[in-house]
Structure formats: structure tokens, C-alpha cells
Amino acid sequence: MHAATDKTLCVVLGSGGHTAEMARLLQGVEFDRYTRRLYIVGEDDALSLDQIAAVEVRSSVYSGEYFVERVPRSREVGQSWASTPLSVARCLARTARVLLYHRPDVVLCNGPGNCVVVCVVALVPRILGLKRIPIIYVETFARVRTLSLSGKLLYPLADRFIVQWPQLLDRYPRAEYIPNLV
Amino acid sequence: MSVYVTVGSTGFDALVRAACTREFLQALAGQGFRRLVVQCGHSIGLFKPPTTRSETFGIAIESFDYTSRPQRLVEQADLVVCHAGTGSILEALHSGTPAIVVVNRALMDDHQSEIARELAKDGFVVVAEPATLASAVSECAYAALRPYPAADPRPIGEIIDEETF
């Protein structure tokens, strides 16, 4: 019955604040259309799992299933720069394996550190002419005048770039301003 | 009337210290508050309120590290004092409880206070620093705050649909 709309939504989650906000944003998404949700979580995020469960619990009777995949950080704070290429490679490899296995149809993120890697890897199938996986970026409510680092990096790459304060439109005209999302 | 002070998921030493000063308790009593509940996070060791009734101005004081139901405590309170984390601010805004948002100048990252100051400018919250908390209570500006509009995240669902289908 739902075969025509069996889509996989990939949501990138980070620490506390980002996840709490993402849970609010997801209230606006029909899980009956995205019958598989893939949550990519940073390795050290215990807080997010409780919140994912809370987000998922509110869904209707038939709304598919969800998966949680942990991905190591590309670099730890204070890590030596000599070892960084190796940890970045590990992170990229793990992310690629996760996306290859779950084959998401769309990626939604709101700025935690790991989202840049996920989005970059999600762009590869498009570059290779295989599959377009749209990237939807929503800058956090906390950013009024400046973009976060993830936002700056993903502004040229995202298919839709949403900001929650109008002041950001001056410097980022390609962004879409939507108030009262959270 | 009760006040709920929350530092969120980490700690906020300066706020926790400010929340147990005589000055703060006196300001609360002056506004008719009789109960103070403080969620301290990592800073629990710094919460040392006075113990004699005259020094607490008759205010009943409770404290704990963390709670699994922060939203409930925010809704039940008559005033919320929270750190400038997005999650806490949103909980306060949607609870209907007036809020004093306390910014942490010790954190070098000043974008943290951007959201608090913007919301204060628009009349949705009062903004203060730990050092000015007691006077923010006495000034009672929190009694004239505007109600915050309800959230509607459906545009996000629509945008995702537009790109995916």
C-alpha cells in the first residue's frame, strides 16, 4: 500500500541542543511518507537516543521503522594533526558504508559537526551521475546574525538552505527564511 | 509562587552561585515568590543556600542535578531562570512561563547570547547576567513579556517532499 512512497529519510543528529531542535523540526515531517528513517549519530551521543525514541513514539500506527548508526568523529578536539588524515578517512569510510547500506533518498541536517561529512558523502552518487540525494539544511534557531561553521560549508552545497532569522538573508541570499519552525 | 532555575545539560557555576545568594532570595521574596527549585547540573556542589529562615526570607528551597521531565517543571513554575541554551529557551518560550535568560560571559563564544538578546529585544524574554540576576527579578520586567507564537514545522516537511518526490 505504501510502496510508491517508501522513502528513506536520513537525519543527522549531534549533541543535545541540535537534537532537541531537530526533534521539533521532525514534528513537521510525515513519517507515513518516509517509512524508513536513518539517524546518523556521533559516537559519543547518549542523549540523542532517548530523544530519538521520543520523536519516533509519536508516530501513527503504520510509520515504518528507524535505524540508528553511529559514526566516529572526523577529528577529536586536541587530537594531533598528524593522526587527523587517518581519523578523517575512518569517518568517511564508515559514513560511506552506512549510506551505501541504507540508501537514503534525502538528507536533513541542522548543523552538528558530523553533518558536513554525511552531506559530502551523500553528494558522491550525484557527482557520479547515479542518484540525486537532496540535501536539506536548516540552520539552528540560535544563529541570528552569523552562520555556524557547518552552515558556511554547506551553504553552497545544500539543495535547500533554511534560516530562522531574516538578518541572515543579507549575506546569504540563496537561503530561505522561515519563522516559527521551533 | 515558585521559581525554577535551570542550567541545562552541563553546568553553569556562576548562575548556580547567583541562585543561592541572599540578594537573589530577597529579590524573590519581594516579588511574592515562596518556593525556589534549582536544577544545578554539574554545578551542584556550588549550590549552598543559607539555612536560617531569616536569611532565606521564608523561601522553600530545593535543588537537584538533573531531571527527566524539565518541561513539566518549567510549566509549573511562575518564573523560569534558564541558561541561554536553545533547548531551554524554547522550552521556556512554549511553556507560557515568563523567562529570564542568563547569558554566560565566561564563554568566549558570544554568539551564544545572540539568541537571548534578539528575543529580549522582541519582548519575549528578559536577558540578564549572573551578576544582574537579582535586579532583573526586582525590576519585574518579566511580568510584561509577550506570549511566544506556536511552532509550525510543517514547511520543513513540505520542503523535504518537494525535493524528494
pLDDT at residue A18, as a whole number: 85
Size of interface A-B (CB pairs under 8 A): 96
List residues bridging with A162 in a β-sheet: A138, A176
User: How far apart are alpha carbons B87 and B82 in whole angstroms?
Assistant: 10
pLDDT at residue B109, as a whole number: 55
CA distances (Å), A125 to each of A24, A132, B77, in order? 30, 7, 51
Residue B32 at interface with chain A, using a CB cutoff of 8 Å: no
User: How far apart are alpha carbons A92 and B34 in whole angstroms?
Assistant: 55
Give the residue-averaged pLDDT of A48-60.
72
Residue A80 confidence (pLDDT) above 50:
yes
Q: Which residue has the higher pLDDT, A49 or A13?
A: A13
Closest by Cα among A74, A75, A151, A69 to A110: A151
Nearest CA in chain A to B117: A144
Residue B161 at interface with chain A, using a CB cutoff of 8 Å: yes
Residue A143 at interface with chain B, using a CB cutoff of 8 Å: yes
- Would you say B47 and B76 are in contact if contact means Cβ atoms under 8 Å apart? no
- Would you say A15 and A51 are in contact if contact means Cβ atoms under 8 Å apart? no
Residues in chain A closer than 8 A to B157 (CB atoms): 28-30
Nearest CA in chain A to B156: A28
**Chain center to CA of A22:** 9
Closest by Cα among B163, B1, B4, B8 to B84: B8
Residue A2 confidence (pLDDT) above 50:
no
Residue A103 at interface with chain B, using a CB cutoff of 8 Å: no
Residue B18 confidence (pLDDT) above 70:
yes
Torsion of CA B31, B35, B40, B46, to 10 degrees: 80
Residue A20 at interface with chain B, using a CB cutoff of 8 Å: yes
Write the DSSP assignment of A39-75 as a string of letters.
EEEETT-HHHHHHHHHHHHTS-SS--EEEEEEE--SS
pLDDT bracket for residue A46 (50, 70, 90):
low
**Are B118 and A17 an interchain contact pair (Cβ–Cβ within 8 Å)?**
no
pLDDT at residue A64, as a whole number: 85
pLDDT at residue B10, as a whole number: 80
Q: What is the ipTM of this complex?
A: 0.92
In this prediction the pTM is 0.91
Residue A166 confidence (pLDDT) above 70:
yes
Residue that is written with C-alpha cell 551578576 in the block? B131
**Are B156 and A159 an interchain contact pair (Cβ–Cβ within 8 Å)?**
no
pLDDT bracket for residue B11 (50, 70, 90):
confident
User: How far apart are alpha carbons A140 and B22 in whole angstroms?
Assistant: 37
Give the helix ranges, DSSP H, for chain B: 13-18, 22-30, 53-56, 70-76, 86-95, 111-121, 133-139, 154-164
| Residue A152 phi, psi dihedral angles, 5° rounding | -65, -40
Residues in chain A closer than 8 A to B149 (CB atoms): 180
Helix axes A46-57, A16-26, angle to 10 degrees: 10
Residue B160 at interface with chain A, using a CB cutoff of 8 Å: yes
Residue A144 at interface with chain B, using a CB cutoff of 8 Å: yes
Sheet containing B99-102, strands listed edge to edge, beginning at the edge strand earlier in sequence: B60-64, B35-39, B2-6, B79-83, B99-102, B126-128
Nearest CA in chain B to A134: B163
pLDDT at residue A77, as a whole number: 74
Residue B107 at interface with chain A, using a CB cutoff of 8 Å: no
Q: Is A136 helix (H, G, I), strand (E, B) or coil?
A: strand
Q: Which of A20, A142, A176 lies closest to B115 in CB terms?
A: A142
Q: Which of B111, B152, B160 lies closest to A108 in CB terms?
A: B160
pLDDT tens digit sequence for B52-103: 988 999 999 999 999 888 889 999 999 999 999 898 999 999 999 999 999 9
